[in-house]
């Protein structure tokens, strides 16, 4: 009993408790700066092409800014520029590099041209928005992914329609 009295010290009943909010303010400032840096108010408008039967998804994420790549039943386009005509949702052999069967030469050339014109600080650098027909074969998608990554665009996002069946 004598040990507790010696170690606890006197208790002051009239003392007030003060809260030091300096460290809490620092924490909220850091959170505010982080949220402001990651918040985006840019609208990305994507208009579905007429000959593209887009897949449906339940995702509600907003699209990011990037180069729009459109692969339909009859055309292969970047933004509004037609690169080549599609045949039965397949890339024609004239567009494929004979040395590498997964390499689409016109797509690579166009993406590389975009890469050179964009400044390093541009937000679209490295991002491609793919608007593809839902019936597009996996082999064709794989060639597109491969070629885009070789051209310096590793972030390829697929665009879908929102809503389920």
106 and 135 in a single domain? The answer is yes
11 and 85 in a single domain? The answer is no
- Domain assignment present for residue 48? The answer is no
- Of 2-11, 58-67, 75-84, 123-132, the least confident: 2-11
Number of domains in the chain: 2
State pLDDT tens for residues 77-126.
988 888 998 888 888 889 999 999 999 999 999 988 887 777 665 545 66
- Domain assignment present for residue 51? The answer is no
State pLDDT tens for residues 4-29.
555 666 666 666 767 777 777 888 89
111 and 148 in a single domain? The answer is yes
Q: 117: domain range?
A: 56-162
The CATH number given to whatever domain includes residue 61 is 3.30.420
20 and 67 in a single domain? The answer is no
Q: Residues 66-73: what's their mean pLDDT?
A: 85
Share of the chain above pLDDT 70, in %: 68
- Domain assignment present for residue 32? The answer is yes
| Side-by-side strand order, sheet with 155-158 | 81-85, 75-78, 67-71, 127-132, 155-158
147 and 79 in a single domain? The answer is yes
C-alpha distances in Å from residue 111, one per residue of 43, 69, 102, 107, 149: 23, 10, 16, 6, 10
- Domain assignment present for residue 31? The answer is yes
């Amino acid at each position: 009993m004598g040990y507790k009295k010696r170690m606890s010290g006197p208790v002051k009943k009239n003392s007030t408790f003060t809260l030091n909010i300096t460290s809490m303010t620092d924490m909220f400032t850091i959170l505010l700066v982080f949220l402001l840096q990651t918040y985006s108010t840019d609208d990305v408008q994507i208009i579905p092409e007429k000959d593209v039967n887009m897949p449906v998804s339940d995702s509600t994420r907003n699209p990011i800014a990037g180069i729009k790549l459109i692969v339909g039943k009859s055309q292969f386009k970047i933004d509004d520029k037609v690169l080549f005509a599609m045949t039965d949702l397949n890339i024609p052999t004239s567009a494929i590099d004979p040395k590498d069967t997964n390499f689409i030469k016109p797509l690579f050339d166009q993406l590389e041209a975009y890469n050179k014109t964009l400044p390093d600080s541009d937000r679209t650098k490295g991002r491609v928005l793919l608007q593809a027909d839902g019936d597009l074969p996996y082999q064709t998608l794989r060639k597109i992914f491969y070629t885009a990554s070789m051209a310096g665009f590793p972030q390829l996002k697929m665009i879908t329609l929102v809503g389920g069946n």
